[in-house]
Structure 1
Amino acid sequence: MKLYYHIGFGSYLYQTLTVASHPKQSDFWAVVVHHVSTVSVMAASYLLGFTRIGIVILLLHDCSDPVMEIAKCFLYLGWEKVADVMFTLFAVVFLVTRNVLFPYVIYTAHENSILEDGERMPRGYGHWVLFCLGCLWILAALNMFWGYLIIKIAAMKLITNDVVGDIREEDSEE
Structure 2
Amino acid sequence: MEQISQWLWKQEYWLPPGITWEDMGKMEGCRRPLPRDLLMSLPVAVGFIILRCAFERGVALPLSRALGLKDQVCLKVTPVPHLEAFYTKHGRQPTQNDIRALVKQSDWTHRQVEVWFHHRRNQDRPSSSKKFCEACWRFTFYLVAFTAGLASLVNASWLWDQRDCWRGYPQQPVQDGHYWYYMLELGFYWSLLLCVSVDVKRKDFKEQIVHHFATIFLLGFSYCANFIRVGTLVMLVHDSSDFLLESAKMFNYAGWKKTCDALFVIFAAVFLLSRLVVFPSRIIYTTLVLSMDVFEPYVGYYFLNALLMVLQLLHIYWAYLILRMIYKFLFLGKLDKDERSDVESEPGEDKEVEKEKRQSSGRKRKVVMDSTMAIFNSSCVLNNLTNQKADANRRLPKAR
TM-score (norm 2): 0.40
Structure 1 outlier segments of 4+, above 4 Å: none
Rounded Cα–Cα distance in structure 2 between residues aligned with 1:56 and 1:128: 18
Deviations 1:43-90 (A, max 9, x none): 000001111110000000001111112212222232222211111110
Equivalent of 2:210 in 13, 33, 56: 33
Provide the residue aligned with 2:308 in structure 1: 136
C-alpha spacing 1:20/1:100, structure 2 compared with 1 (3 Å): farther
Equivalent of 1:74 in 233, 251, 257: 251
| Structure 2 contact 200–344 (Cα < 8 Å) conserved | no
Provide the residue aligned with 2:198 in structure 1: 21
Q: Which amino acid aligns with 1:144?
A: I
Alpha-carbon distance, 1:115 to partner: 4.6
Alpha-carbon distance, 1:25 to partner: 2.8
Provide the residue aligned with 2:332 in structure 1: 160
Q: Which amino acid aligns with 2:255?
A: G
Provide the residue aligned with 2:286 in structure 1: 108
C-alpha spacing 1:136/1:70, structure 2 compared with 1 (3 Å): same
Rounded Cα–Cα distance in structure 2 between residues aligned with 1:78 and 1:27: 23
Provide the secondary structure at the position in 1 that maps to 2:292: coil
Provide the residue aligned with 2:320 in structure 1: 148
Rounded Cα–Cα distance in structure 1 between residues aligned with 2:197 and 2:254: 28
Rounded Cα–Cα distance in structure 2 between residues aligned with 1:164 and 1:112: 43
Q: Does 1:92 align with 2:266?
A: no
C-alpha spacing 1:73/1:23, structure 2 compared with 1 (3 Å): closer
Rounded Cα–Cα distance in structure 2 between residues aligned with 1:28 and 1:74: 22
| Structure 2 contact 237–274 (Cα < 8 Å) conserved | yes
Rounded Cα–Cα distance in structure 2 between residues aligned with 1:45 and 1:88: 33
Instruction: Tell which structure's C-alpha radius of gyration is larger.
Output: 2
Provide the residue aligned with 1:172 in structure 2: 346
Rounded Cα–Cα distance in structure 1 between residues aligned with 2:191 and 2:284: 25
Q: Which amino acid aligns with 1:160?
A: L
Please provide the CA RMSD for this pair.
2.0
Provide the secondary structure at the position in 2 that maps to 1:21: coil
Provide the residue aligned with 2:299 in structure 1: 127
C-alpha spacing 1:102/1:20, structure 2 compared with 1 (3 Å): farther
Q: Which amino acid aligns with 1:107?
A: Y
C-alpha spacing 1:26/1:80, structure 2 compared with 1 (3 Å): closer
Provide the secondary structure at the position in 1 that maps to 2:336: coil
Higher relative contact order (CA 8 A, sep 6+): 1
Of residues 93-102 and 75-84 in structure 1, the stretch that sits farther from structure 2 once superposed is 75-84
Provide the secondary structure at the position in 1 that maps to 2:183: helix
Rounded Cα–Cα distance in structure 2 between residues aligned with 1:170 and 1:79: 20
TM-score (norm 1): 0.87
The alignment covers a number of residue pairs equal to 168
